[in-house]
Structure 1
Amino acid sequence: MKRIIAIVCILSLTCAATAQQKTAFQTSSAWTPEIDVRSDIAIVYGAGDRRGMTFGQRVQSWRDRGYQTHFMTGIAWGSYEDYFTGKWDGKNHFGIGQVERDGDTIWHGRNVPYVVPESTFIAYMKEGVVKKVIDAGISYIHLEEPEFWMRAGYGEVFKQEWQRYYGFPWRPQHTSPENTYLSSKLKYHLYYNAIKEVSEYAKAYGKQKGMDVKVYIPTHSLVNYSSWQIVSPEASLASLPSIDGYIAQVWTGTSREPTFYNGLRKERVFENAFLEYGSMISMTAPTGRKIFLLTDPIEDWPRDWGDYKRNYEATFTAKLLYPTVADYEVMPWPERIYTRPYKLPNSDSSILIPKYYSTQMQIMVNALNSMPVSENKVSGVNGIGVLMGNSMMFQRFPTHQGFEDPQFSNFYGQTLPLVKLGVPVQTVHMENLSYKATLKDIKVLVMSYSNMKPMSPDVHQHLAAWVKNGGVLIYCGRDDDPYQTVQEWWNTKGNHFKAPSEHLFRLLGINPAQPESRVGKGFVYVIRQHPKEFVMNEGGAKAYVELVRKAYEENAKAGKLLVSNSLHVSRGMYDVVAVMDESAEKEPFVVKGPVIDLFDPTLPVLASKSVEPGRQALLLNVARVKQPAVPQVLAAASRVYEEERKPGSYRFVVKSPARTVNAMRILLPSEPRETILTGPGGEKITPASVSWDVSSKTCFLQFDNSPDGIRVEISWGR
């Protein structure tokens, strides 16, 4: 009997492993009806037992509801009280925290420090966390947010790691640019090593148990970490054999970080999110790793629900404008979104998520379950890239020798002026230059060493070869920042370059005093300005944009550099549109219908949709529906199961969280004669709204949701 049960378990695990893994959410809670999101995967957070519930029971509560289960935990912090307090190995480890210059530890929460990942912590992560999770039958492990704060690096544990890594005593990072650079480089190495060791252990231990363990890294983008002055391994992990993919953690909280453009500092949530997602995708695409794109319908700080909605639409649209990716983490913490009242700014009242917003959110989330990968390109010129690298995180110290980079403007100076013109600029990671796919479609590449440095001379070998083969390179920078002289490969071991660009220019065979040079089949331009000047000064980007235009049209001979105030892409039956403000063009972007507006909880059918500057849209284009003669649910604030079609009738079951309202658009051959709704207990339900739209041949239904399922039966004709 035990053997039969074991075989059944193995078969069920095999089926789960081969099932669709397209959408996911993360939760620290056990299943409850209010948070039954109906994605493919429930990523269970934290391996600790709870009062009255073990970790295994928490996992099982989601499996019992049909979810595949993954596991997530922090790699830089977490609820590891047994480790910190000494219950695990008899030693107190609170001294492992990341320490600031004033001696304060940086805390993530009560008794939860951000850690310096030295050997005992790594051993704990392996034996105290990962082993337990694999023993529970989970083969997908997410090691979240390997983060070391730039302002940290003053604790005794870090000083010991410094001595071990560099072979000379610790130096306080605030005393020189070189010490800042060396401090950040060590932080980078420590988390690279921690991820490498823990992920290799997970693979090896899983193999011992006959399991194929996959390891993912949920992480902020390189754009955000650099902006927020955090150090993380980022792109280097994509080449580790023990890493299978990433979750791109982009949401309102990261994307609303203010940026400079045309001399004005303000929030630019859509544009920022677009660049963040782009940097994550370009980091993984050449390596073939899988990536889930995350958005959050709310954020960590209290705002009003209108703010959450507006910025959720902006970040959601930004990720859909990358049609080569169709895997998503649809939300973190559904328990926070659905069940926690939020105190509004300038108010003493706290309210739960409004019904109109939860309906809209669920319509958007369920659209992701059917969102296809598409070969369509986003509108605009797709052949312009901007080089970036992990060392962006190494020189974010506020000020050294009078040099500063306010709001990470040396990066945004290269990118924002192009995005604002409807050019979907692609970020290119120098760590991936050895992959042929990295520069395959790039016609013009912009780069600067004003905010980063090459970590290897190989970077220049790849760039020089690309230019000589026909690429057009635009180098921006004065090469006078204090990090040019840090102790690195370009000024050690027989090299005597005053700046790393000198090595690149030598390989290219050009005189950088000449603003334009032909190199083989390609061209090189040198602009002796820091890119931050393009955005921190009013009108500062004009000459830069004109040079990009010249490089693209005349040198690369890639066609006209088309500009607009919008970005648009079609993905199957969906149209994704973003229209930007701060542009010379003020016209809206118009999509001809009939289209269903998925950002409106009433799912209106429109003859056309006009998207104004500063707004975004997700539209379902009825004319592009596959198999239009087949009855089907086109959009819903629920997930559809058990579909059954017969002549003259269509029936199905829909499931979604309790205490939310469903709205549906259903494509039918003709107007319904009868619509019957049946609750999970067999009770008849009267819909709150039923209507028919002739132009789209769709029926609109609205009724309260149930995680146990509402059966819908529709008949038409005689």
Structure 2
Amino acid sequence: MNTRNSFLAALLLLAMPAFGQKEKTSFQIAEKWRPEYDVRADVAIMYGMDSTFHTRAQSWKEKGYTIQFMTGIAWGEYQDYFKGNFDGKTHYEEGQKDVSGNIIWHGPEVPYIVPTETYINYIKSHVKKAIDEGVTAVYLEEPEFWAFGGYEAPFKKAWQDYYGFKWMPQDSTAEATYLSSKLKYQMFFHALKEVFVYVKDYSKGKVRCFVPTHSLLNYASWHIVSPEASLAQLPGMDGYIAQVWTGTSRVPNYFNGVRKERVFENAYLEYNTLYSMIAPTKKQVYFLTDPIEDGVRSWDDYKVNYQATFTAKLLYPKVDKYEVMPWPNRIYLGKFKMEGSDEAQPISPAYATQMQVMVNSLNDMPLSDNKVSGTQGIGILLGNSIMFQRFPTHKGYEDPQLSNWYGMVLPLLKRGIPVQTIHMENLGFADALKDIRVLIMSYADMKPFAATVHEQLAAWVRKGGVLVYEGRDDDPFQEVQEWWNTKGNHYKAASEDLFKQLGIKATTGIAHPVGRGTVYVVRKDPKEQVMEAGQDQAFVDLIKEAYVRSGGKNWKMKNSFYLERGPFTIAAVMDEHADTTALTIKEPVIDLFDPSLPVLSQKVIRPGEQAYLYALNRKPLGKPAVLCAAARVTAVNNAGRKFSFTATGPLLTNNVMRVSLPVKPVKVTEGIEYAWDKGSKTLLLKFPNSPDGVKVAIAY
């Protein structure tokens, strides 16, 4: 390149907004840049490796984005592998198969795969090309093995190699089911380990590695097996993307005898399980939300549930990195129906504006030491083996909609108690139970992976923890040949080893003192508390007693959650609660769920609703600043009595923004609609977005 061209290129780079340097917000995309869906996050995660990758990546890089790479580890557009172009052999026989021998398809010519060594090498070849293109991170998404798969030859061979005895059809016994899922879990753990080691070695440690994954709750609900929590301990593993959205959170569950969708509550718990996987490890997690979903619904449905999931993710103040959306082209260019209409239509200007206000606010979302309102310190134990008991049913024992887990959680969450998930795989970390006063657990829905789990729990109780164990321990998975009944152990149920470690006889209804702590045993399965109406009060009373015994002094039940993060207020009010009163925020706020960005003297949130607000009293009134906007704001300058900035957003969408000023402006850039609000000292601006940026100058 000659000197003149180098100079021009340098000028162009200086003029570019430095969107991608923070890596706080991202999106995944398989398409080239287009102005209609230039959402202006920091990172464009390029999906899939093919002959167009360089062109696609370059189109986003030229717009100022950091470029990263994502591909599926369990499925993908890998026809060259399946048809023999990779190594001269066809590989359709490596597709996961059901009991009838049918391949389980993700899409046309896209089977879910058994991760053989050959396939792992194929994925490495994709990763190598991405690293050569200069990506800064690699994402291997959705390590998924269907619970009803496992009837294909490669899996049968892996069984023989791993267990040392002949494959057993997983539908034959509870033991076969459990062992099958355990192996599926191990196979994808191994696959990710191998690829991540390769990434670190080939990139000389410069490229980071992440796993975008559904929550453990969703995978268990959908009968999928995945490594999940154990991945946090993998060398070379830098973190997760928490893939939570309406499609995962709308899975129905039981509470008070009613089976239905509870999107906010489920989203809150899904994010909880994914956050707790990394909390004691100090690794990173990005929270994802989707303004629409894979299932074809109406725009109205998408909007209501987007607000619910978005609110849920913001109730985790120790997370401030987000994948703001997957597939922006699907959102901005897709067509779906409105309620009461049979005609598919594109996203409405109002919803596009609202969504962009929400998305752009994430660039300013701070970490916070504040806690969600409510009784703190109550944890629910969870383990990867909750995925191992889901399919099929054995000896008539069922756990409908994971009710043995939700039975411990929803009675508390619905009463405004922000329960925390504790992963048994993380108990070895010093901080795993640091803030937990009462830990609730059951082996009706999962089993301990090793005796160390019980050693760690017993040590925690002796130091003053209060443990509540629920379960009849009569499910057929108690009989699986595992560590508690092999190699010299002869326990009929896994919990018997726990009680031995604690030094107690598991008598129900008694508070068993253990060291400085206490153990309660309840001989019924948690599902019994939610599958019939009015069956959870005794459980809630017991948890209150346990909390008080732990030294807790702030037991409080309510129908809402509330959190402040910098100037942002996040709130939700539960329905299905005896208390049907609304939550009123009694201070001036900007309603960030309203695309007109109104200034309200107070906000009323009714049962079943959520709110996302900008609290004006937490920002110095009158100081020149952009408070919220449906565009990315850069090049902010305040000199003399002139305030200016550049607002950038997708083509064909409308920007609405509120700007704080000391006094009413005397001049605003021509062509921009504006209105002054004297009480809040804010200026409302409206104008069409542009991916090239709109320069705004305000004199006051």
Which interval holds the TM-score relative to the shorter structure? over 0.9
Of all paired residues, the percent bearing the same amino acid is 55
SS of alignment partner, residue 418 of structure 1: helix
Task: State whether residues 302 and 345 of structure 1, in contact with CA within 8 Å, keep that contact through their aligned partners in structure 2.
Answer: no
Structure 1 match to 2:122? 124
Q: Distance in 1 between matches of 2:206 and 2:276?
A: 26
SS of alignment partner, residue 665 of structure 1: strand
Q: Output the amino acid matched with 1:591.
A: I
**Aligned ranges 1:62-81 → 2 under 5 Å:** 62-81=60-79
SS of alignment partner, residue 203 of structure 2: helix
SS of alignment partner, residue 24 of structure 1: strand
CA RMSD, 1 decimal: 1.8
Structure 2 match to 1:528? 523
Q: Output the amino acid matched with 1:523.
A: T
Q: Distance in 1 between matches of 2:590 and 2:694?
A: 23
Task: State whether residues 634 and 665 of structure 1, in contact with CA within 8 Å, keep that contact through their aligned partners in structure 2.
Answer: yes
Structure 1 match to 2:146? 149
Q: 2:675 matched to 1:671?
A: no
Q: Output the amino acid matched with 2:173.
A: S
Shift of 1:220: 0.4
Task: State whether residues 599 and 617 of structure 1, in contact with CA within 8 Å, keep that contact through their aligned partners in structure 2.
Answer: yes
Q: Distance in 2 between matches of 1:510 and 1:87?
A: 62
Q: Distance in 2 between matches of 1:347 and 1:153?
A: 43
Shift of 1:348: 4.2
Q: 2:170 matched to 1:173?
A: yes
Structure 2 match to 1:711? 695
Structure 2 match to 1:682? none
Q: Output the amino acid matched with 1:655.
A: T
Structure 1 match to 2:393? 399
Q: Distance in 1 between matches of 2:406 and 2:679?
A: 45
Q: 2:278 matched to 1:284?
A: yes
Structure 2 match to 1:588? 582
Greater displacement, 276-285 / 156-165: 156-165
Identify which of 268, 275, 295 aligns with 2:269: 275
Change (3 A) 1:81 1:344: farther
Shift of 1:456: 0.6
Q: Output the amino acid matched with 2:684.
A: F
Q: Output the amino acid matched with 1:548.
A: I
Task: State whether residues 177 and 392 of structure 2, in contact with CA within 8 Å, keep that contact through their aligned partners in structure 1.
Answer: no
**Aligned ranges 1:436-585 → 2 under 5 Å:** 436-515=430-509, 516-553=511-548, 555-585=549-579
Q: 2:631 matched to 1:631?
A: no
Change (3 A) 1:345 1:89: farther
Greater displacement, 510-519 / 243-252: 510-519
Structure 1 match to 2:290? 296
Shift of 1:418: 0.6
Q: Distance in 1 between matches of 2:621 and 2:359?
A: 23
Shift of 1:649: 1.3
Identify which of 200, 204, 225 aligns with 1:203: 200
Q: Output the amino acid matched with 2:134.
A: G
Q: Distance in 2 between matches of 1:18 and 1:603?
A: 27
Q: Distance in 2 between matches of 1:597 and 1:367?
A: 12
Q: Distance in 2 between matches of 1:334 and 1:511?
A: 57
Q: Output the amino acid matched with 1:539.
A: G
TM-score by length of 2: 0.97
Shift of 1:672: 1.3
Question: 1:212-241, CA deviations, whole angstroms, 9 ceiling, x for partnerless residues?
Answer: 110000000111111111000000000112
Structure 2 match to 1:367? 361
Q: Distance in 2 between matches of 1:695 and 1:585?
A: 34
Structure 1 match to 2:348? 354
Task: State whether residues 398 and 404 of structure 1, in contact with CA within 8 Å, keep that contact through their aligned partners in structure 2.
Answer: no
SS of alignment partner, residue 669 of structure 2: strand
Task: State whether residues 646 and 696 of structure 2, in contact with CA within 8 Å, keep that contact through their aligned partners in structure 1.
Answer: yes
Shift of 1:139: 2.5
SS of alignment partner, residue 600 of structure 2: strand
Change (3 A) 1:288 1:16: farther
Unaligned runs of 5+ in 1: 678-685
Shift of 1:643: 1.2
Structure 2 match to 1:681? none
SS of alignment partner, residue 601 of structure 2: strand
Structure 2 match to 1:42? 44
**Aligned ranges 1:91-240 → 2 under 5 Å:** 91-127=89-125, 129-207=126-204, 212-240=206-234
SS of alignment partner, residue 590 of structure 2: strand
Question: 1:570-590, CA deviations, whole angstroms, 9 ceiling, x for partnerless residues?
Answer: 000000000010011111111
Question: 1:653-688, CA deviations, whole angstroms, 9 ceiling, x for partnerless residues?
Answer: 1000001011000101111111114xxxxxxxx23x
Change (3 A) 1:341 1:57: same
Q: Distance in 1 between matches of 2:19 and 2:90?
A: 39
Change (3 A) 1:434 1:2: farther
Greater displacement, 484-493 / 347-356: 347-356
Question: 1:96-126, CA deviations, whole angstroms, 9 ceiling, x for partnerless residues?
Answer: 1010011111111111100000111001011
Q: Output the amino acid matched with 2:157.
A: Q
Q: Output the amino acid matched with 2:430.
A: K
Q: 2:18 matched to 1:20?
A: no
Task: State whether residues 362 and 636 of structure 1, in contact with CA within 8 Å, keep that contact through their aligned partners in structure 2.
Answer: yes
Task: State whether residues 16 and 68 of structure 1, in contact with CA within 8 Å, keep that contact through their aligned partners in structure 2.
Answer: no
Shift of 1:560: 3.1
Task: State whether residues 302 and 344 of structure 1, in contact with CA within 8 Å, keep that contact through their aligned partners in structure 2.
Answer: no
The count of residues paired between Structure 1 and Structure 2 equals: 691
Shift of 1:344: 5.5
SS of alignment partner, residue 29 of structure 1: coil
Structure 1 match to 2:409? 415
Shift of 1:19: 2.5
Shift of 1:286: 0.4
Shift of 1:16: 8.8
Shift of 1:288: 0.8
Q: Output the amino acid matched with 1:645.
A: N
Task: State whether residues 19 and 65 of structure 2, in contact with CA within 8 Å, keep that contact through their aligned partners in structure 1.
Answer: no
Structure 2 match to 1:658? 651
Structure 2 match to 1:683? none
Q: Distance in 2 between matches of 1:674 and 1:19?
A: 33
Change (3 A) 1:17 1:170: farther
Question: 1:369-411, CA deviations, whole angstroms, 9 ceiling, x for partnerless residues?
Answer: 0000000010001100000000000000142101000011111
Unaligned runs of 5+ in 2: none
Shift of 1:331: 0.3
Question: 1:546-601, CA deviations, whole angstroms, 9 ceiling, x for partnerless residues?
Answer: 00000001x10111310100000000000000001001111111112210000000
Q: 2:645 matched to 1:648?
A: no
Task: State whether residues 99 and 154 of structure 1, in contact with CA within 8 Å, keep that contact through their aligned partners in structure 2.
Answer: yes
SS of alignment partner, residue 676 of structure 2: strand
Task: State whether residues 621 and 680 of structure 2, in contact with CA within 8 Å, keep that contact through their aligned partners in structure 1.
Answer: no
Shift of 1:180: 0.2
Q: Output the amino acid matched with 2:674.
A: V
Q: Distance in 2 between matches of 1:194 and 1:17?
A: 33
Q: Distance in 2 between matches of 1:306 and 1:344?
A: 6
Q: 2:675 matched to 1:691?
A: yes
Shift of 1:345: 7.6
Q: Output the amino acid matched with 2:182.
A: K
Q: Output the amino acid matched with 1:695.
A: G
Task: State whether residues 20 and 42 of structure 2, in contact with CA within 8 Å, keep that contact through their aligned partners in structure 1.
Answer: no
Q: Distance in 2 between matches of 1:300 and 1:57?
A: 27
TM-score by length of 1: 0.94
SS of alignment partner, residue 474 of structure 2: coil
SS of alignment partner, residue 437 of structure 1: coil
Q: Distance in 2 between matches of 1:155 and 1:541?
A: 44
Q: 2:93 matched to 1:90?
A: no
Shift of 1:87: 0.5
